Structure 1
Amino acid sequence: MHKNDLSERDICTKFITPALERAGWDVATQIREEFPLTKGRIIVRGKLHTRARHKRADYVLFYKPNIPIAIIEAKDNNHGIGDGMQQALGYADMLHVPFVFSSNGDGFLFHNRIAPDGIIERELALHEFPTAETLWQWWARHRGLNDRQNALVTQDYFSDGSDKSPRYYQLLAINITIEVIARGQNRILLVMATGTGKTFTAFQIIWRLWKSKAKKRILFLADRNILIDQTMTNDFKPFGSAMTKIQKRQANKSYEIYLSLYQAVTGNEEEKNIYRQFSPDFFDLIVIDECHRGSAAADSAWREILEYFSSATQIGMTATPKETREVSNIDYFGDPIYTYSLRQGIDDGFLAPYKVVRIDLDRDVTGWRPDKGMVDKHGFEIEDRIYNQKDFDRTLVLEQRTQLVAQKITEFLKKTNRFDKAIVFCENIDHAERMRQALVNENADLVAQNSTYVMRITGDSEEGKAELDNFIFPESRYPVIATTSKLMTTGVDAQTCKLIVLDQRIQSMTEFKQIIGRGTRINEDYGKYYFTIIDFKKATELFADPDFDGEPVQIYEPRGDDSPVPPDVPEEGERSGVTYPEPGEEKGWTGVAEPGPEGEGGVRRYVVATVEVKVAAERVQYFDAAGRLITESLRDYTRKALAREYTSLNDFLRRWSSTEKKQAIIDELSEQGVFFDALADEIGRQSGKVFDPFDLVCHVAWGMPPLTRQERAEQVKKRNYFTHYGEQARRVLEALLDKYADEGVAHIEETQILTIAPFTEFGTPLEIIRGFGGLEQYQQAVHELEEALYA
């Protein structure tokens, strides 16, 4: 066979891999072919989802199993030697790799990003491919690492022989952290979106530092007992007997890896004595999970631990660095050395995307003013002023508003799945309790079956907190709906949560990201690929903020000595037996269902039962392929997207006609952000008809009058299209035509359709296909049927 006739895979097998082996590269440990980088963004269309094409490098070469050093992109021999270079450079950017190669089997184009002589690209013969040691020496010399530093950065990560290895961004976070520690940096901040594996990343960092003996005694701090326990039994399990959990009054110094709650070593003097039993230089390394919380504040009790062990290298890990005028992660840890954002995670397909349903209520939009002398349900005269969204559920309770929100949540679940886990974020504990009551009444049938169908999970409710683990665990059916205020904004790994409801005004970008992060985990085993946000209080306007998902910017303003110090109230999590008010609660309120008379420093909360509240506007907001909110009309957006793909109607028709499977074009346009389901809903609502994607495209982009699937099917039947087929084949094609009218073109293109009724009446799939003369003839008949449909 001539070289030009070989496939890309053949070129790899016959020319590229042998060239690498001749250069001394080890196939088992150093050469990874078809290396997966991303999983492909999940694209949501109505209730359906698909994945965009994932990114995969033809070759990633590793100096050691944890150190990627080169990328090779292969092409078949009909391409030039450098045709894969631009693609390879994109992959190299993702992996921070310095050496990049492209090949068509004739040789290599070598792109050296650290070339000392300024000649970045040159061609190499197949036999001139550099050795692993050569490339490593060039890179080590470029980075200026000495032998001791090199020994640390080349220390292997943990592997148990399974397929679980760090994802590309985890590998980067681990390697960058190890290198800056090797260079002597002792305050480090890693920013990784919720659900991207911070704990696994932390474990690999600790493992390499521990195994290399660079760090001998290590403390891992988290803020919830369940996180510590899960960490010990899951990601940290390989540490075995070298690991312990610090309990109250325990200070056993014979271990090497220590895990502890912040709260277990802070609080009252007795608890503080636990960490003071360790000498200040006892720990070499401290890793602080969720460091945006207490350790961000200079006067926090949690920060006291870090300052006591100030000689240790300290790594802060968070999805949302806290940067306000009062508290700052960057002020303590420095700028992040690596950031993997929510947007990147969704784009790569490692995190679940979201769709937003905005519901505006009339009283929220226009405000409400009481009649003169009006009293609330408790007899208190209501202060005469205009109350708006800022006041609702804080200083003014409109009971019918709560009922309407509960009704809309329940309506949504009834249309989707009433057992999809949902978190409803409320303004405060009182609001969370009233919302629980309203949801119980809206879902009385399911609550009668199990009283935990709806639970209030807040800091003051022991019964609610006891159900938190059941809400989190995918295996537990109940609770289904959780109402909360602050307790579930962070540290809650709700893998199967499919609905986030925002009935809370959110002004903090940190808090907003934390709340959105409750829905971003994917769990394919339980059908969790995306989630929905129902927003009643315009909180999702923060998606449009330029700071959303951007790099954190320090805006910290240190207080002077005479500045008032805010009270140190630990955030939600484990309470160490001490009762604290929930963060964000107004001082004076204790979370009872109805407040009593105004207390010292309290705020009057009026309760009104008689004011009617209605929905003013309800709309689904869409996000394009890059995750940006679409602000123009769906039709205008679609028209522009189609104009980028096709120069004219004729161009589209040629592509449609020449493509063997029409679903391929539909999938391709879906990846470009065309919302076929949404367009079908919008155009169908206006006409009461169901249209094919083909007609939607032609109608929206070029103004062609659309035909329904039923109309297209009837036209084919009128043409006596089936006359040149035998009786059995005609019956099959007529059934395919009916299936098209009912379900669309995608279904008739797959041979699996022959395994369902009514086709089972005609025989087995094999017998049906034989009736056409074979598979090729059957597929040709389906293709001709499609041509007739779209003629």
Structure 2
Amino acid sequence: MDPSEKKRLSEIDVCDLFITPAIKKAGWDQMLQIRREVTLAPGPIVVRGNLSSRNKKKRKFADYVLSLKPGLPLAVVEAKDNGHSVSSGLQQALGYAEILDVPSAFSSNGDAFAGHDRAVLAGQPTETDHGLDDFPPPDILWDRYRRFHQIADDEQDLVSQSYHIDASGKAPRYYQADAINRTVEAVAKGQKRVLLVMATGTGKTYTTFQIIWRLWKAGTAKRILFLADRNILIDQTLVNDFKPFGGQMTKIKNRKIDPAYEIHLGLYQAITGTDEPEKIFKTVSRDFFDLIVIDECHRGSAAEDSAWREILDYFDGAVQVGMTATPKETEYVSNITYFGDPVYTYTLKQGIEDGFLAPYKVIRIDIDRDVLGWTPPPGMVDDLGGVIEDREYNLRDMDRTLILNQRTKLVAERVMKFLRATDPMSKTIIFCEDIDHAERMRKAIVNAAGKLATDNSRYVMRITGDSVEGKAQLDRFIDPEEPYPVIATTSQLLTTGVDAKTCKLIVIDRTINSMTMFKQIIGRGTRIDEDNGKFFFTIMDFKRATKLFRDDAFDGAPVVIYEPTDGDDPVPPDPEDDGDPDSEGDPDDDDDGDDTGGRRKFVVSGVTARVMNERVEYVGSDGKLVTKSYRDYAGKQITEEYKSLNEFIWHWNASERKQAIIDELEQRGVILANLAETVGKDFGDFDLLVHVAFGAPPLTRRERAERVKKRDYFAQYGDKARAVLEALLDKYADEGVETIEDAKVLRLAPFTALGTPMEIIRGAFGGKPAYEAALRALEDQIYEYAANE
């Protein structure tokens, strides 16, 4: 091909005509080993007010991912059109190679390949060029991958074991593949204890399934035990992610481990107990299980003296994989001391930045009695006739030792005010101090909800361990297809493991000092459910718990501060446990417990309560909470793209299609519909943008249209052309510039009365070029103000 002609090709053409054929010629299978246009991460969701948009500018998108097998990536190739140099995409490819944890990155413009080897041997060049006929074959890049991850010859069969690919073609996300591959590699190297740290909502159970599947299919693990401490975790796993195991899988019940099955799912509580006869795990030999996966291992298995730990100690010859979103590291308890450093970590912050997890906004509400405190008059009695202890009561006392009924009512009314202003059918979890508080909050919500609660008695339910009726509704609460219950009041039952994908509001009216519990509570809202319009969630905080967001430990690496000793001293309770339940009672009782500790509670009805202060905060680009509006965010994004009002006006007027600028800003998360909600729906696109970014006074679309009409601008056109342009101007006034730039507009009324689109273009303007020129001139007239004022 002539070089000048090649430079006119698009990037896609360069891929189709040169890059893909060169990779295939090197021996790569196009169906199994070459993936094109791979979205590694969709880009973060920006939340301001009650509006959200995705910042596609920050998405991670690889032109090619080359894999030995699906799920086992070896290299990234970044493509550019021929107007770029061969290596111009190499830095971008390297960024994606680091994300995928692969050693090979390539760039190409269709003339050749530039390569970077992150596993280069000493004395060899890190970057080399390859001709189109000299791209490295799969075996060369597999050897490089093995060198990069230090995989020995006798380990490669296990490491290259295939993933499970279902009929839908679902493949692991990049971080899931990283976690799976790092775990399988660790097992291949003989590591017996493996820790994975993945934020809630990132698919730990699916990741676990793929790990087990590959080790099982490779024959490394023939009998597997999946351990959890909540029935709902087991039941969800059985019917969802683990379903492909089919008849080889069973749930341990009737106090029996059945050797006829290979995949066993069990509750800690079902297979152990305080008395020897209850320890049914001892009915099989110590080498019965080859692999044990411990779900939510920050809980019971973290404590050295836990009865649950004895299961792991009994099967100490098995590979043990711990999965958690919140590794527990306190003065007395340590995941890392037991499992070792995590082989892979994927945090909430990373998940939000990538766009896989829902961001949040925080509404912090201060109530006067919490902040200023309350001291009863001497000798005052509560509603039950008991004398109230004479001291000052503050935030920590509320609903633990002092119950102010007016405060409970105030919280319930504020929750319902928010839901009515947004969506009264938004799934909501209210975390309370204990079961008694959860029941009182349920009653208060019923009264505050009014007709919503009377129309359906399940609008609000108390879902706690002691409530048979409430627990029976749990499956319906987490089912996106079930509208009721809408609101769940709870104490601890919903803190972990409950996959409430559509939960949009988390209300914290509970004292929280434990970072572990705080992360678990926040995790109830982090899932995105696009099918049901759930892109972000709101945290309404009445107890200042969200101060923990500002703690470096919230999304930082865990630090070991506990080391086991040789002494026999009992392990003290975790002082920050906050009642985090490690229940060893009835295996069918997911009890969240009543952590009153026998405290005397004073119930008082006559003391008023009011909201003193309310502040809304959002997740900023650095992962920290900031106080900004969507308008502020949009203005910043616009000024990053256009440094001044004059620069923006120049680009706007010079653009043949205004929609191109609108699309470009949308990539940054600036959605005009969202701006219209905050500024006004009658303003045009241009005016919305320059007003929020540069403070220019806006004109409505109708005002701009009237200015054009006053200039008698249409007199230069014939009758039919003038009728078309006047109708286009009216369309702009009603709907905006994007409507009149869409060729389909001529298929709508009133244009249909003038003929077909082709008849209008030819009859009124003499052809498409003249029509487009007239449309452009009309836009110049609409935005003449932009050039002159």
* TM-score, shorter chain, exceeding 0.5: yes
Of 209-218 and 699-708, more deviation after overlay is shown by 699-708
- Structure 1 counterpart of 2:596, from 586, 598, 608: 586
Tell me the equivalent position of 1:419: 425
Letter in 2 for 1:224: R
What's 1:344 paired with?
A: 350
2: CA distance, partners of 1:167 / 1:350 = 9
Q: Does 1:125 align with 2:145?
A: no
User: What corresponds to 1:591 in structure 2?
Assistant: none
- Following superposition, the deviation at residue 372 of structure 1 comes to 3.3
Deviation at 1:275, TM superposition (A): 0.7
1:389–1:724 Cα change, 3 Å:
farther
Name the amino acid aligned to 2:586. Answer: S
CA distance, structure 1, for counterparts of residue 654 and residue 13 of structure 2: 28
1:586 counterpart letter in structure 2? T
Structure 1 unaligned blocks of 5 or more:
589-601
Q: How does 1:127-206 map to 2 (within 5 A)?
A: 127-141=133-147, 143-206=149-212
Shift of 1:181: 0.8
Name the aligned partner's letter for residue 9 of structure 1. I
Measure, in 1, the Cα distance between the counterparts of 2:171 and 2:555.
26
Shift of residue 753 of structure 1? Answer: 6.8
Query: Residue 96 in 1 paired to residue 101 in 2?
Result: yes
Is the 2:702–2:734 Cα contact (8 Å) retained in structure 1? no
Aligned-residue Cα RMSD (Å) equals 3.2
2:647 matched to which residue of 1?
651
Displacement of 1:218: 0.9
Instruction: Give 1:778 shift.
Output: 6.3
More displaced stretch, 329-338 vs 758-767:
758-767
Task: Work out whether residues 502 and 537 of structure 1, in 8 Å CA contact, stay in contact via their aligned partners in 2.
Answer: yes
* Secondary structure at the counterpart of residue 439 of structure 1: helix
The residue aligned with 2:45 is 42
Identify the residue that residue 51 of structure 1 maps to in structure 2.
54
Aligned ranges for residues 776-787 of structure 1 at < 5 Å? 783-787=776-780
Shift in Å at residue 267 of structure 1?
A: 2.7
Q: 1:654 to 1:562 in 2, by over 3 A?
A: same
Q: Cα–Cα, structure 1 residues 648 and 152, in superposed 2: closer, same or farther, change >3 Å? A: same
Corresponding position: 1:495 with 2:491:
no
Query: What residue number does 2:17 align with?
Result: 14
Residues 580 and 99 (structure 1), Cα distance of their counterparts in 2 relative to 1, 3 Å cut: closer
SS in 2 for 1:93: helix
Task: Compute the displacement of 1:527 (Å).
Answer: 1.9
Shift of 1:76: 1.0
> What SS does structure 2 have at the residue aligned with 1:56?
strand
Name the SS of the counterpart of 1:122 in structure 2: strand
The aligned counterpart of 1:571 is 581
Match of 2:69 among 24, 47, 64: 64
Structure 1 residues 768 and 422: alpha-carbon distance in aligned structure 2, compared to 1, 3 A threshold: farther
CA contact (8 A) 1:224 1:574 kept: no
Q: Secondary structure at the match of 2:91?
A: helix
Map of 2:256 onto structure 1: 250
User: CA contact under 8 A between 1:498 and 1:532: conserved in structure 2?
Assistant: yes
Q: Quickly say closer, same or farther: Cα 1:786–1:218, change in 2 above 3 A.
A: same
Contact 1:728 1:771 in 2 (8 A): no
Alpha-carbon deviation of 1:362? 2.6
Asked if structure 2 preserves the Cα contact closer than 8 Å seen for 1:352 and 1:529, the reply is yes
Partner of residue 781, structure 2: 788
Distance 1:123 1:274 in 2: 62
Match of 1:318 among 324, 348, 351: 324
Q: Out of 713, 733, 739, which is 2:728 matched to?
A: 733
Deviation at 1:178, TM superposition (A): 0.7
Residue among 351, 376, 400 paired with 2:406: 400
The structural deviation recorded for 1:783 is 4.8
| Alpha-carbon spacing, 1:731–1:580, altered in 2? closer, same or farther (3 Å) | closer
Residues 337, 560 of structure 2: 8 Å contact kept: yes
How far apart, in 1, do the equivalents of 2:187 and 2:114 lie? 35
What is the percent sequence identity of the aligned residues? 58
Deviation at 1:547, TM superposition (A): 2.1
Structure 2: gaps spanning 5 or more residues: none
Distance in 1 (CA, whole Å) between partners of 2:398 and 2:341 is 38
Shift of residue 141 of structure 1? Answer: 4.2
Deviates more, 1:35-44 or 1:492-501: 35-44
What's the offset of the Cα at 1:47?
A: 4.2
Partner residue of 1:705 out of 697, 700, 704? 697
Deviations 1:689-721 (A, max 9, x none): 975564455445544334455544443444344
Mapped partners of 1:579, 1:100: distance in 2? 52
- Aligned residue number for residue 85 of structure 1: 90
1:23-58 Cα shifts (integer Å, max 9, x gaps): 222222222222221123233354444333232211
Indicate which of 516, 531, 555 corresponds to 2:522: 516
The counterpart of 1:275, out of the listed 278, 281, 304, is 281
Query: Counterparts of 1:212-361 in structure 2 under 5 Å?
Result: 212-269=218-275, 272-361=278-367
- Give yes or no for contact 1:298–1:327 (8 Å, CA) kept in 2: yes
CA change 1:635–1:13 in 2 (3 A) is closer
Distance 1:5 1:414 in 2: 56
Q: Secondary structure of the equivalent of 2:293? A: strand
2:608 alignment counterpart = 612
- When structure 1 is superposed on structure 2, of 257-266 and 482-491 the one drifting more is 257-266
Q: Distance in 1 between matches of 2:632 and 2:476?
A: 45
Change (3 A) 1:713 1:501: farther
The change in CA–CA distance for 1:637 and 1:469 in structure 2 (over 3 A counts) is closer
Distance in 2 (alpha carbons) for counterparts of 1:400 and 1:298: 44
Q: Report if the CA contact (8 A) 2:231-2:588 is conserved.
A: no
CA distance in 1, matches of 2:752, 2:385: 71
Seen in structure 2, the aligned counterparts of structure 1 residues 199 and 651 have a Cα distance that, compared at 3 Å, is same
Counterpart of 2:451 (choices 445, 455, 468) is 445
Cα deviation for residue 428 of structure 1 reads 1.6
Deviation track 1:494-553 (CA, whole Å, cap 9, x = no partner) reads 111111112223222221221111111122222222222222222223222222222222
Give the C-alpha shift of residue 204 in structure 1: 1.1
- TM-score where L is the length of structure 2: 0.90
Q: Which secondary structure does the structure 1 equivalent of 2:322 belong to?
A: strand
Query: What is the distance in 2 between the residues matched to 1:544 and 1:679?
Result: 29
The separation in 1 between residues aligned to 2:684 and 2:593, in whole angstroms, is 52
Secondary structure at the aligned position of 1:37 is classed as strand
Change over 3 Å in CA distance of 1:162–1:697 after alignment to 2: closer
In the other structure, the counterpart of 1:25 is: 28
Query: Are 2:374 and 1:381 equivalent residues in the alignment?
Result: no
Contact 2:631 2:678 in 1 (8 A): no
Cα distance in structure 1, aligned partners of 2:689 and 2:610? 36
Which secondary structure state, in structure 2, belongs to the residue aligned with residue 451 of structure 1?
coil
What is the CA distance between 1:786 and its match in structure 2?
4.2
What is the rounded CA distance, in whole Å, between the counterparts of 1:581 and 1:391 in structure 2?
24
Contact 1:45/1:677 (8 A) holds in 2: no
- Contact 1:66–1:154 (Cα < 8 Å) also in 2: no
Deviation at 1:576, TM superposition (A): 2.3
CA drift of 1:324 comes to 1.8
Equivalent-residue separation in structure 2 for 1:690 and 1:748 (angstroms): 16
Asked whether the equivalents of residues 48 and 618 of structure 2 are also in contact (C-alpha less than 8 Å), the reply is no
Partners of 1:789 and 1:538 lie apart in 2 by 51
Post-superposition CA distance 1:194-249 (Å, at most 9, x none):
12111111111111111111111111112233332332333222223222221132
Q: What's the secondary structure of 1:258's corresponding residue?
A: strand
For these two proteins, the number of residue pairs brought into alignment is: 770
Higher relative contact order (CA 8 A, sep 6+): 2
Task: Call closer, same or farther: CA 1:752–1:356 in 2, change over 3 Å.
Answer: farther
Q: Is the 8 A contact 2:205 2:237 kept in 1?
A: yes
Report the AA paired with residue 733 of structure 1.
L
- Per-residue deviation, 1:142: 5.0
Distance (whole Å) between structure 2 residues aligned to residue 760 and residue 612 of structure 1: 65
Cα distance in 1 for residues equivalent to 2:540 and 2:672: 22
Instruction: Tell me if structure 1 keeps the 8 A contact 2:116–2:128.
Output: yes
Give the aligned residue type for 1:630: V
